[in-house]
Chains A and B, each alone.
Chain A
Amino acid sequence: MSRLLMSLLAVVALLAACAGWSPAAEPTIDEYVQIFNPDLLARVGDANHIERTSTFTHPESSDISTWVMENTWFSFIIFLPFLILPQVLLVHVMLKFRDRRDGRRPATFMHNVKLENLWTGIPILALVIVAFPVYPLLYKMELPPEDRDAMVVTVRGRQFAWDYEYKKEGVSLGLDLVSSIQEPLVLKKDKAVVLDITSSDVNHAWWVPAFGIKKDAIIGRFNRAWFTPRIAGPFRGQCAELCGQGHGVMIIGAVVAEPDVFDRWVELQRHRNDSQKVWDALIAWDLKGDDAPIRASVSEYLKKSDGDSRRWALQYWMAHNATSYTRRSPDRPQRGTKAEDIETYPARLEEWKSKLVPAWRDSLEALPDRRQRIDAIIAAMPMVAQIEIAAPPVAQADVALADVVSEETP
């Protein structure tokens, strides 16, 4: 019933979305930032709170999730009588056979072979019924996807973050360079993705609940998992194997993007490292002072290559970083375990509270101004040279999955 209601709601939402949708409208920079840099920690009720947090509530998020939930509800229905029957019998027995002190003699039977065979046989039958469909599903999940052209991402856990390496796209992700919060894994909608999961220290487990898979990250071995995301939007997850002090904050994010948006994102990544220097100059820039250093860094950025897309990328990264910048204050000092650390802790805490945090909060107010000024500077810069940076070589990455698939498929 609720499924039906939800799908109805989805249809209504889809119609509403179509009404306001026009194919020509390219998302603005801020909309791209919304898509690629979601707030993984947004609270319930916030506009950008991530709703799809479980395979049980959103089985449509990935193909695996859908199959798993179909199978689970099927098994659940088969098992359900064995949950209800004892409870019903228990209540029945308790009501019917309670001692009413009316002189009724208790029964004396001690065994009933027919009955015993029955309650051994019927559960076996139920288990066999469940056992059949789950077997092919298990193999479907464990073998590589049929889509030989799948994306391949190496996922490497460490205390307490995840590093992603896109083999074909040549992109690496990890902690956000500005906020040091985990960056989301960006995926292409309707494109199978193969995750090779490993760890560089203790055991972790990669788990985005809505996608319906969870694999341990263990040092010295690669665990393979795959799925095809079916809905665009942000998802979130969490390390699922105790990995030490920061286990709870070892969060995981994932963003599923429409194919053309995803291509845009891959393109953006090529300019990221260069843009970081501009950001550093921008955040260090005293707005009242001379803008020579920031001009110098922008022209440095453009010297390597110039063009509309590269300028656009710089604007994007400034917006992206500004969003990240608002998400995290300077790190709270840790008490530590050494004697001198503990001694200085109150002073460090006080400094953090009274100096670092207020300074950071003041600088937040100036962020929009900074962005406007740099946009103006970028626009005013004369074109240097129209050289596009070439995409990174993809040859060696391309063969990786095809080889593995041919080795593993029986």
Chain B
Amino acid sequence: MSTAGAHPMPQIKRYTGLMDYLTTVDHKKIGLMYFWFTLFMGIVGGALAGLIRVHLATPGSMIEAIQYANLHGTDLPFNLFSENKHAYNQVMTMHASVMIFFVIIPSFAAFGNYLAPIMIGARDMAFPKMNAFAFWLLIPAACLMFASFFTVGGAAAAGWTSYPPLSLQGAKINPGQDMWILGVHLAGMSSILGAINFIVTVSNMRAPGMGWLQMPLFVWAVFITSVLQLTATPVLGSAVTMLLMDRNFGTTFLSASQGGDPLLYQHIFWFYSHPAVYIMILPGFGGISHVFAAFSRKKVFGYLGMVLAIGVIGIIGYSVWAHHMFSVGMPTALQAFFMYMSFAIAIPTGIKIFSWLATMWGGTIRFTVAMKFACGFISLFTLGGFGGLILALVPVDQSLHDTYFVVGHFHYTLVGGSVMLLFSMTYYWWPKMSGRMLDERWGTVVFWLMFIGVMVAFMTMHISGMHGMARRIAVYYQDYKIHNHITTFGYLLTFVGAIIFFLQLVFSYRKPKITVNDPWEVNDVQESFEWATSCPPPAYNFEHVPPIPVADQMPRH
């Protein structure tokens, strides 16, 4: 069945095992490497969160404890950062940086790499070598960031936002911040290369007959996310380059005493980082539509509305960045503008939520683990989005900005949103990616641990924020003790859930391979390419033009 006769392939040396993965340019293997990399980083980032949570739940973290130590001349037991609150800031900064740059953003690249070419009936990505390069850039980026813990002065400690002038302090003495900047540069480069690859692939390599509006929603989401990445990430690069130059080469972009402006950085940074919020959720929005459709045995409701909603979110996402900065003292009219734009972005999000519910409406719903996560996602993400609407109101944002309310809000959208989406997509597509089913009973345990954990941990954060607990503090007023204990309990639930999930994936390799192409019986109702090939798909996916008719997503009138 070889096509070598028609198109003679160059003879290249084939490796097996580890060397195969080190040298591969196959999008599926790269996708899997992305997957395991982000999973590992997720455990590391979760462990860093654990350090934060354990610290905040112990008596040593209260201002009361400072008094105690001062009055009695003794230390409180079991206090992680009592000697060095700088270490707390380092851990907090690295938790955020790892979770954003090495877990959530690349994990969607994992699914995009694996699934997008198959879904459009392509044999590989447009630039396979660039694809591999984009992945391998992440390793030195992560190494740089983690190595900075062992430098003089430790890792970056100015928060993942790294606002100057704080991030300019310690220039030329403490290299941690510089290593963070370079790590962000490399991760950003990886992101940009990946984005170019997706855009070119999706634009040019769709199977014959597949127009733009016949593309599956996940491909649409990956495409729009890639456009966002391509246009926004260089802006982040410029912001951190200014930081790097100010720190090391004597420029004064951000130094107020010499004519620069520290606020400049905040604007440029959020001009990237607000679209980045959508980079972190949009691919999941696309992917989850497949899960809802598959397990309701229906087709996606309102395909065009869904595509438009993703597009509109992408566009409006560029004009809401300053809602992260309502307290910096902007002109009032500007604040009003950003407030209204932030309101506006709730509308396409609402369209998506209602369309998913309509997709389920009238179906015959099977509650597999993937479907449970998808339903849990709707519940949690609505709550997170609701907090976002409250935060968009400038008057009350003056009270809530930089409190635990904000922390609770974005953890609802990132853990209750993105991570629930990722788990759902994993349970759904893991049979395709590895050829093994995941255990449904353990999966249900993971779901309930995650769902209840998120609810407990992050709802309590909302409450402590409303009671006036500022974020990023290593010590707090004793009033918030009970909140922090509950949050830490919720964290433990989610972390146990994540560990079980990890072990489930590892041990799934001991199971026998499945022999059917379509274990969820998806293609009884839909026509999708990925369920029409074997599990996992063979090298180069399809030997011929894909064997099923192109999915008619968009009914023609």
Provide the bound-state CA to CA distance between A179 and B378, in Å.
Answer: 52
For A109, give its contact among B72, B73, B301 (CB under 8 Å): B301
For B350, give its contact among A119, A142, A237, A241 (CB under 8 Å): A119
Closest Cβ neighbor of B349 among chain A residues? A123
Is A34 part of the binding interface, using a Cβ–Cβ cutoff of 8 Å?
no
How many Å from the CB of B154 to the closest CB on chain A? 10
Q: Which of B69, B157, B361, B396 has the most CB of A within 10 A?
A: B396
B378 touches A104 (CB 8 A): no
For B354, give its contact among A86, A215, A247 (CB under 8 Å): A86
Provide the bound-state CA to CA distance between A246 and B474, in Å.
Answer: 9
B364 touches A104 (CB 8 A): yes
Given A104-B364, A353-B74, also A246-B390 (CB < 8 A): no
For B394, give its contact among A134, A215, A223 (CB under 8 Å): A134
B257 touches A219 (CB 8 A): yes
Is B407 part of the binding interface, using a Cβ–Cβ cutoff of 8 Å?
no
Closest Cβ neighbor of B463 among chain A residues? A56
A97 touches B346 (CB 8 A): no
For A205, give its contact among B74, B296, B383, B402 (CB under 8 Å): B402
Provide the bound-state CA to CA distance between A141 and B473, in Å.
Answer: 28
How many Å from the CB of A35 to the closest CB on chain B? 21
Residues of B within 8 A of A259 (CB): none
Closest Cβ neighbor of A55 among chain B residues? B399
A108 touches B468 (CB 8 A): no
A53 touches B479 (CB 8 A): yes
Given A83-B382, A106-B296, A220-B256, also A43-B478 (CB < 8 A): yes
B362 touches A106 (CB 8 A): yes
Is A262 part of the binding interface, using a Cβ–Cβ cutoff of 8 Å?
no
Is A404 part of the binding interface, using a Cβ–Cβ cutoff of 8 Å?
no
Is A24 part of the binding interface, using a Cβ–Cβ cutoff of 8 Å?
no
Which of B222-230, B331-339, B441-449 is found at the contact surface with chain A? B331-339
A202 touches B169 (CB 8 A): yes
Range of interface residues on B (Cβ < 8 Å)? 35 or more
Residues of B within 8 A of A249 (CB): 63, 66, 475
Provide the bound-state CA to CA distance between A41 and B165, in Å.
Answer: 29
Given A93-B365, A242-B158, also A120-B299 (CB < 8 A): no
Which of A70-78, A284-292, A312-320, A374-382 is found at the contact surface with chain B? A70-78
Provide the bound-state CA to CA distance between A41 and B467, in Å.
Answer: 16
Q: Which of B344, B375, B395, B479 has the most CB of A within 10 A?
A: B395
Instruction: Give the contacts of B44-95 with A (CB-CB under 8 A).
Output: 63-64, 66-67, 69-74, 83-86, 89
Is A207 part of the binding interface, using a Cβ–Cβ cutoff of 8 Å?
yes
Is B37 part of the binding interface, using a Cβ–Cβ cutoff of 8 Å?
no
Number of residues from A at the complex interface, CB < 8 A: 96
Is B360 part of the binding interface, using a Cβ–Cβ cutoff of 8 Å?
yes
Closest Cβ neighbor of A142 among chain B residues? B332
How many Å from the CB of B27 to the closest CB on chain A? 30
Residues of A within 8 A of B70 (CB): 328-329, 332, 357
Is B340 part of the binding interface, using a Cβ–Cβ cutoff of 8 Å?
yes
For B395, give its contact among A72, A89, A120, A329 (CB under 8 Å): A72
B399 touches A141 (CB 8 A): no
Is B501 part of the binding interface, using a Cβ–Cβ cutoff of 8 Å?
no
A127 touches B64 (CB 8 A): no
Instruction: Give the contacts of A1-57 with B (CB-CB under 8 A).
Output: 41, 43-44, 53-57
Residues of A within 8 A of B351 (CB): 116, 119-120
Provide the bound-state CA to CA distance between A69 and B256, in Å.
Answer: 36
For B335, give its contact among A138, A143, A205, A246 (CB under 8 Å): A138
Closest Cβ neighbor of A119 among chain B residues? B354
Provide the bound-state CA to CA distance between A202 and B70, in Å.
Answer: 28
A203 touches B165 (CB 8 A): yes
How many Å from the CB of A210 to the closest CB on chain B? 8
Complex interface bits, A193-225 against B, C-beta within 8 A gives 1, otherwise 0: 000000001110101011011111011110110
Is A240 part of the binding interface, using a Cβ–Cβ cutoff of 8 Å?
yes
How many Å from the CB of B71 to the closest CB on chain A? 6
Residues of A within 8 A of B157 (CB): 244-245
How many Å from the CB of B473 to the closest CB on chain A? 4
Is A90 part of the binding interface, using a Cβ–Cβ cutoff of 8 Å?
yes
Residues of B within 8 A of A251 (CB): 63
How many Å from the CB of A108 to the closest CB on chain B? 7
Complex interface bits, A105-118 against B, C-beta within 8 A gives 1, otherwise 0: 11111111001100
Provide the bound-state CA to CA distance between A89 and B357, in Å.
Answer: 7
B393 touches A71 (CB 8 A): yes
Is A391 part of the binding interface, using a Cβ–Cβ cutoff of 8 Å?
no
Is A236 part of the binding interface, using a Cβ–Cβ cutoff of 8 Å?
yes
A215 touches B395 (CB 8 A): no
Closest Cβ neighbor of B61 among chain A residues? A248
Provide the bound-state CA to CA distance between A93 and B375, in Å.
Answer: 10
A241 touches B89 (CB 8 A): no
How many Å from the CB of A334 to the closest CB on chain B? 8
A240 touches B525 (CB 8 A): no
Complex interface bits, B385-411 against A, C-beta within 8 A gives 1, otherwise 0: 010011001111011011100000000
Is B470 part of the binding interface, using a Cβ–Cβ cutoff of 8 Å?
yes
Given A44-B479, A83-B382, also A202-B339 (CB < 8 A): no
Instruction: Give the contacts of A70-101 with B (CB-CB under 8 A).
Output: 71-72, 75-76, 79, 82-83, 86-87, 89-90, 93-94, 97-99
For B86, give its contact among A99, A223, A240, A245 (CB under 8 Å): A245
Residues of A within 8 A of B478 (CB): 43-44
Is B12 part of the binding interface, using a Cβ–Cβ cutoff of 8 Å?
no
Residues of B within 8 A of A120 (CB): 347, 350-351
For B390, give its contact among A72, A138, A328 (CB under 8 Å): A72
Q: Which of A86, A137, A236 has the most CB of B within 10 A?
A: A86
Is B262 part of the binding interface, using a Cβ–Cβ cutoff of 8 Å?
yes
Residues of B within 8 A of A219 (CB): 165, 256-257, 262
Q: Which of B89, B300, B470 has the most CB of A within 10 A?
A: B470
B67 touches A41 (CB 8 A): yes
B297 touches A106 (CB 8 A): yes
Residues of B within 8 A of A221 (CB): 256, 263, 329
For A56, give its contact among B261, B343, B466, B481 (CB under 8 Å): B466
How many Å from the CB of B308 to the closest CB on chain A? 10
B468 touches A79 (CB 8 A): no
Instruction: Give the contacts of A118-160 with B (CB-CB under 8 A).
Output: 119-120, 123-124, 127, 130-131, 134-135, 137-139, 141-143
Q: 8 nearest interchain CB pairs?
A: A107-B362, A220-B256, A248-B473, A357-B73, A223-B329, A209-B468, A248-B475, A99-B364
Which residues of chain A have a CB within 8 Å of any CB of chain B?
41, 43-44, 53-57, 67-69, 71-72, 75-76, 79, 82-83, 86-87, 89-90, 93-94, 97-99, 104-112, 115-116, 119-120, 123-124, 127, 130-131, 134-135, 137-139, 141-143, 201-203, 205, 207, 209-210, 212-216, 218-221, 223-224, 236-249, 251, 327-329, 332, 335, 337, 352-353, 357-358
Q: Given A53-B479, A120-B350, list of 9 further CB < 8 A pairs?
A: A75-B396, A86-B379, A107-B362, A120-B347, A138-B335, A212-B399, A214-B327, A244-B89, A357-B72
Question: What are 22 residue pairs bridging A and B, where the CB atoms are less than 8 Å apart in the complex?
Answer: A54-B466, A54-B467, A68-B399, A72-B390, A94-B365, A107-B362, A108-B299, A109-B362, A110-B301, A111-B555, A123-B347, A138-B332, A138-B335, A143-B332, A202-B165, A203-B163, A219-B257, A220-B262, A238-B473, A240-B471, A244-B169, A249-B63
